Copies of this chain bind each other. A is one copy, B any other.
Amino acid sequence: MMLVTRSKSIVEQVNEVLRERIRNATYAPGLRLPSENGLAEEFGVSRATIRTVLAKLSVEGLILRRQGDGTYVNERILEVNTHLGGLWDFSRLIESSGFSSSIKALSLQETTATEEDARILAIKAGDKLLWMKRLFLADEKPVILANNFIPCSFLNCPVEEINGQLHIREILQRYFQQRISFAVTEISSSNSKESFNELGNELSLNLKMTFYSEENQPLALGNSYFNDTFLRLRLVQAWA
């Protein structure tokens, strides 16, 4: 089997195919996948390539591997599926919980950085920020209130032209020419009024995020409220 597309790496392509086969039960829950050699032969790639794909799926908890035995589909994870790479992508989180997801932009406007914002973003207090206040809906029900703050210094178009439906990664890429490399998220409990007003629930999870570039520059802040009476925040942790 040939895979020719140049833009995506072989690892990514095989990863997507295997993921899809697990999702649509071509590889049934709880049952065994073909061996590494079998997969390598089918895709016409080396065993090492197959192994890097399987290692990724294993870290996410999607498959379980047993030396001397085989690789199995982890049926317990199929209904959970909020693995760790997906935490800051609220749309994926909602969809993997079995809901349809949509975004309602409440406001996109300029504001100025507080002392606290400035310190974290390594800018000056009073500098201009883009402030996005958005509501993530699961089956039309508001579940996450997300505030994002991005320094305007790299903004390449008027605020009005920004598409508020996009994911923060895409917004940073398209309008600021910046790529997120990693993020730090602080999770705490909250009983804020802001959360109550928009989500109809006073008690919620508060997620404070900071996004950084490959060069370790702070790119953006997030301050979100998560209605955990409706949506569950589940993490899968695979050991070794």
Chain A residues with a Cβ under 8 A of chain B = 30, 59, 61, 64, 66, 72, 74-77, 80, 84-85, 87-88, 180-191, 203-205, 212, 214-216, 228, 232-239
Apart from A186-B234, A188-B232: 19 A-B pairs, beta carbons within 8 A: A30-B216, A61-B182, A66-B214, A76-B216, A80-B184, A84-B237, A87-B237, A182-B237, A184-B234, A185-B234, A185-B235, A187-B228, A187-B234, A187-B235, A188-B205, A188-B228, A188-B233, A189-B190, A189-B203
Partner of A182, one of B182, B187, B212, B239: B239
Distance to closest chain B CB from A233 (angstroms): 5
Interface centre among A75, A180, A183, A184 (most CB of B within 10 A): A184
Distance to closest chain B CB from A146 (angstroms): 16
Copies of this chain, how many? Answer: 2
User: Of all chain B residues, which has the CB nearest A72?
Assistant: B216
Decide: A186 and B232 in contact? CB cutoff 8 A.
yes
Distance to closest chain B CB from A19 (angstroms): 15
User: A22 vs B170: C-alpha distance in the bound complex, in angstroms?
Assistant: 33
Distance to closest chain B CB from A6 (angstroms): 17
Partner of A183, one of B87, B181, B237: B237
User: A191 vs B201: C-alpha distance in the bound complex, in angstroms?
Assistant: 14
Chain B residues closer than 8 Å to A77, beta-carbon distance: 184
Partner of A185, one of B203, B205, B237: B237
User: A238 vs B88: C-alpha distance in the bound complex, in angstroms?
Assistant: 11
Instruction: Evaluate whether A235 and B184 lie within 8 angstroms (CB atoms) in the complex, with A30-B216, A216-B76 already known.
Output: yes
Partner of A76, one of B66, B87, B212: B212
Chain B residues closer than 8 Å to A239, beta-carbon distance: 85, 180-183
Distance to closest chain B CB from A184 (angstroms): 6
Chain B residues closer than 8 Å to A190, beta-carbon distance: 189
Decide: B237 and A85 in contact? CB cutoff 8 A.
yes
User: Of all chain B residues, which has the CB nearest A232?
Assistant: B186
Distance to closest chain B CB from A67 (angstroms): 10
